[in-house]
Chains A and B, each alone.
Chain A
């Protein structure tokens, strides 16, 4: 009689399924959004094309220029952190809170950083400005009283092709002072 072959154990499936579409549930500027997207969808395209918030710009699209900078909460630690949204998949921030330039003004009043850029001529063509302001905010949340050198270092990942850096730095210094004095963060 032929010996009965022991049944081969079926390979255990991976705990998580391999997906061709992924859910993205995020809170952007306090509003909840939920979509199903392709995994290759980049965060900046999600914010601009799916959600429709076009204040976040695409500049170089290669992680150099920083025009696409947004803040994400709780990437690690509890705080807000500046990231380049052209270099993240939307699904990487699933479940997180996001802040874009549109979320800075409160009740029609500009955030101190926005006002400081206005008052100190911190923008010329304005293309880099949303990213510049979000990067500056990321810096100030970590270091509320940066030196001029620390500001330069902090925004070194953001390019202004009008080369208006002097006034950008002045703007960030002015905003930092006001935010410290009034205890304003976001």
Chain B
């Protein structure tokens, strides 16, 4: 299968990318790793007139940097670079774990985190993780702006990016030392998109209670969402099994999945509860918070 004919350019400066975007608008597509774009072009779902290949920008836009309060990840960083980053394994262990579950080895070698975020597939993994981590996206257009993950995803394959803008960097605030985390991706088969994917970050208060928690859920709605109701139920609490069950139910409440080849709507809604509960259990255990077992008479 061949993509439709297109013209090609591979600029080596961000300014040139912006100038080309300005000139061609939505007739152009940015090519990062190409592992979302090229399959769609081959299937003729999209047919850009101009492809702007970002391969010559790797020097500038592929990096993982440690900072005092946040890590910064260049948009052209590959999934595999995140998967194997020792610094991230130490500082934000959720990220390498999410990377490990993206596609397969070959896909992770080419695909980029920025490409995946800008593509905004409702079942993608990075949007869920970035939402749970309160990440901020640096967007470069005529001017530079910062868009929080919670305001970035607008709909399926639709983001806050304008046709004239380029996603350049992801800033991830470091969760406190001793936090617990979990990534639960339920997939039909290895390398598939998720049926449901859930990210949890849990911060202990040192006295067996949950100081803070974030729960992000993906693949069941047009855009991933934060389970704010469930988070509220858990903050400041010493969790027991009943509370986790109730929180998981609350977290699945906003889910309005559609029936498709990955399962019926009813099944996916139920699966959301199960995945949230498992993610909470794992994150709390990693945070050193024990979950009391409720004894029923």
| CB-based contact A16/B39 at 8 Å | no
The SS class assigned to the A binding surface is loop
Greatest chain A CB density within 10 A among B4, B58, B104, B107 is at B104
Whether B16 pairs with A42 at a CB distance below 8 angstroms is no
- Chain B residues contacting A12 (CB-CB under 8 Å) are 19
- Find out whether the CB atom of B2 lies under 8 angstroms from the CB atom of A42: yes
- On whether the beta carbons of B62 and A14 are closer than 8 Å, the reply is no
Per-position 1/0 for B105-128, Cβ under 8 A of A: 111011000000000000000000
Contact of A157 among B9, B10, B20, B106 (CB under 8 A): B106
Query: 8 closest A-B pairs (Cβ-Cβ)?
Result: A157-B104, A39-B8, A156-B190, A18-B9, A40-B3, A81-B109, A84-B106, A16-B11
Interface string of A14-41 (1 = CB under 8 A from B): 1111111010000000000000001111
Asked whether, in the complex, the Cβ of B38 is within 8 Å of the Cβ of A16, the reply is no
Q: Which residue of A lies closest to B103 (CB)?
A: A157
Q: Are A88 and B51 in contact (CB under 8 A)?
A: no
B43 at the binding interface (Cβ < 8 Å): yes
**A124 contacts chain B at the CB level, 8 A cutoff:** no
- Nearest-neighbour CB distance to chain A for B251, whole angstroms, equals 29
- Structural contact, B107 and A157, CB atoms closer than 8 A: yes
- The CA-CA distance from A138 to B50 in the complex, in Å, is 32
The contact of B105 among A22, A87, A91, A154, by CB within 8 Å, is A154
Residues of B contacting A88 in the complex (Cβ-Cβ under 8 angstroms): 34, 38, 110
Residues in B with CB closer than 8 Å to A69 are 106
Which residues of A approach B to under 8 Å, CB–CB? 12, 14-20, 22, 38-42, 45, 61-64, 66, 69, 75-76, 81-84, 87-89, 91-92, 135, 138-139, 153-158
A87 to B106 alpha-carbon distance, docked (Å)? 10
B105 touches A40 (CB 8 A): no
Residue from B16, B41, B51, B62 within 8 A of A16 (CB atoms): B16
Assuming A63-B39, A82-B106, A88-B34, is B10 touching A16 (CB within 8 A)? yes
Q: Which of A38, A69, A76 has the most chain B CB atoms closer than 10 A to its own CB? A: A76
Residues of A within 8 A of B23 (CB): 14
B43 CB contact (under 8 Å) in A62, A64, A153, A154: A62
Q: B104 near A20 (CB under 8 angstroms)?
A: no
> Is B65 positioned at the interface, with any CB of A under 8 Å from its CB?
no
Measured in the bound complex, the distance between the Cα atoms of B109 and A18 in whole Å is 27
Residue of B whose beta carbon sits closest to that of A58: B1
**If the complex has contacts A84-B107, A89-B38, are A157 and B3 also in contact, measured as CB distance less than 8 A?**
no
The A-B contact count (CB < 8 A) is 118
Interface of B, secondary structure class, is mixed
Q: How far is the CA of A63 from the CA of B55 in the complex (A)?
A: 20
CB distance from B19 to the nearest CB of A (A): 5
Cβ distance B12 to chain A, nearest Cβ, rounded Å:
7
Return chain A residues, CB-CB under 8 Å to B191. 64, 156-157
Please state if A82 and B105 are interface contacts (CB–CB under 8 Å): yes
Contact (Cβ within 8 A) A87 B35: yes
Q: What are the interface flags for B1-41 relative to A under an 8 Å C-beta threshold, 1 for contact and 0 otherwise?
A: 11111111111110010011001000000010011001101
Complex Cα distance, B43 from A45, in Å, reads 16
Contact: A92 with B1, CB < 8 Å? no
**Chain B residues in 8 Å Cβ range of A16:** 9-12, 16
Pairwise interchain contact A15-B6, C-beta atoms closer than 8 A? no
Give complex CA distance A17, B8 in Å. 8
Interface contacts beyond A62-B42, A89-B38: sample of 7 additional A-B pairs, CB < 8 Å, sorted by A: A41-B2, A84-B106, A89-B8, A92-B53, A92-B55, A157-B103, A158-B104
How far is A20 from B7 in the complex, measured between Cα atoms in Å? 5
- CB pair B110 A87 closer than 8 Å: yes
A sample of 7 inter-chain contacts (CB < 8 A) reads: A22-B8, A40-B41, A61-B42, A75-B109, A82-B105, A87-B107, A156-B104
